[in-house]
Amino acid sequence: MADAASYEYDLFVIGAGSGGVRAARTAAAQGARVGIAEDRYLGGTCVNVGCVPKKLYSYAAHFHDTFDDAEGFGWELDAPARFNWSTLRENKKGEIKRLNGIYQRLLENAGVTLCNARAKVDGAHSLTLFSDQGEQHITAEKILVATGGWPWVPDFPGAEHVVDSNQVFDLDRFPERFLVLGGGYIAVEFASIFNGLGSETHLIYRRDLFLRGFDDEVREFTRDEMERKGTHLHFNTHISRIDKGSNGYRVTFTDGKTLEVDAVLSATGRRANVEGLGLDTLGITLDAQGKIPVNERFETAVPSILALGDLIDGPELTPVALAEAMQLTGLHFTPEPPEPLDYSRIPTAVFCHPNIGTVGLSEEAAREQHGSIRVYRTDFRAMQHTLSGSQERTLMKLVVDDASDVVLGAHMVGDDAGELIQGIAIAVRAGLTKADFDRTVGIHPTGAEEFVTLRTPDRR
């Protein structure tokens, strides 16, 4: 193996998304010579076609309910509110362009060499960059692949008519009739968004209930609230075919039903974005889950080639990619190895309407792993809806180990659930007990105080 000084870079990163940029900046801060290649957009999925625009669109969709609720509080709207799709779309583009510039400055200020090029791995320590200026061959002691995921669309007649979760933000016209295919968090979020923006919205999923892997009570409660808000849910069926007509698309389901819509979103998941990277020529292949296998040091089958984020097994979440980037650089570029990451108590949110926030074990997983548990739960009509007239309800739930009294999981469905669970996640991560929750004085009047006033188990 060549001496590290003989390579042009100590670390070269392929992909300037959240994980790749964090790894590049952190390694550079430790004195490493770092380069990064990106051929699409700085900030990756999260900034450009994921978390950021999705949350902006979710904010936009919430105004529909806000306008409806305002009358009960004395606000008189002289004319019906109107939604302008192009205004939201173009303002979103402006915000993303601003964030792209921030990512570029972060890399430049860290001393990272940014290459606007497509990269292909040639060997354990070599790459070729392809750009408008031609080809460039470079060497690096370590190569980090951080190219994230890419949407995939199931194969059925007429599949060419669907849009994916990258394209849905920039539709030319607002769809008055909208269909979402899928049952993951992307699917339920976009169904809620377009329903809130005013579309007649449908969601179709091949199983009996969406959000597989989440707490069952949370899934059922979310289903009921989404239907209450007007989203049409179709379970245990799939798209058989899509035919383009003079006035939109005719969608035929496998159960024989048909639906006329203006747009169909395929939100059936994302797959590792490794096409054309050359990894397979080095013996680096995807496992049965479609992920790149790595060890605890994020090393692939070729130890000098690393991978993180959505490419490897684990939660497909931006904060996880950021944490993995910090872990990776700590392992490879600092003398003291960091503590291993704890993947068991990572909080997450689903920005459907109402929001879901969750951390720790579901009730089902807790019963399987711990046997005897206590479940504390409440559902209620939030204070703001006593005057608004809205029938929306909130669910809060704690799952507690009966033997140790440790809170194993906390779950919420309701307004700002993600904001609230972020704080609760600290308590769950710290292994606090139900008695610790009980000794905490609540803030009144808030919905959040319910988490520290639950006294009687709903079930054991």
Q: How many CB atoms lie within 10 A of CB 192?
A: 28
Residues 6+ apart with CB under 8 A from 201: 178, 179, 180, 191, 194, 195, 230, 231, 232
**pLDDT at position 5, please?**
74
Would residue 285 count as lying in a domain?
yes
DSSP class of residue 54 equals H
- In contact, 117 and 30? CB cutoff 8 Å: no
Tens-digit pLDDT profile for residues 77-127:
888 889 999 999 999 999 999 999 999 999 999 999 999 999 999 999 999
Please check the confidence at residue 353 and state whether its pLDDT lies above 90. yes
- 84, with CB counted inside 10 A (0-12, 13-18, 19+), is exposed
For the chain, how many structural domains are there in total? Answer: 3
Tens-digit pLDDT profile for residues 17-39:
999 999 999 999 999 999 999 99
Would residue 12 count as lying in a domain?
yes
Amino acid, single-letter form, for residue 152: W
| Arithmetic mean of pLDDT, 154-166 | 97
Residues 297 and 398 in one domain: no
CATH label of the domain that carries residue 387? 3.30.390.30
- Euclidean distance between CA atoms 270 and 164, whole angstroms: 10
| Arithmetic mean of pLDDT, 152-177 | 97
Residues 224 and 325 in one domain: no
CATH label of the domain that carries residue 305? 3.50.50.60
Average pLDDT across the chain, whole number: 96
- In contact, 189 and 351? CB cutoff 8 Å: yes
Residues 6+ apart with CB under 8 A from 155: none
Residues 191 and 235 in one domain: yes
Q: Which of 241, 268, 295 is the last residue of a domain?
A: 268
Would residue 340 count as lying in a domain?
no
- Euclidean distance between CA atoms 164 and 298, whole angstroms: 30
Would residue 121 count as lying in a domain?
yes
Residues 254 and 202 in one domain: yes
238 noted as active-site residue: no
- Euclidean distance between CA atoms 338 and 329, whole angstroms: 9
| Arithmetic mean of pLDDT, 146-175 | 97
Q: Structural domain of residue 130, as residue ranges? A: 4-50+88-150+271-333
DSSP class of residue 341 equals P
- Euclidean distance between CA atoms 425 and 409, whole angstroms: 9
Strand partners, 307: 145
Torsion of CA 18, 19, 22, 25, to 10 degrees: -110
Tens-digit pLDDT profile for residues 366-387:
999 999 999 999 999 999 999 9
Would residue 115 count as lying in a domain?
yes
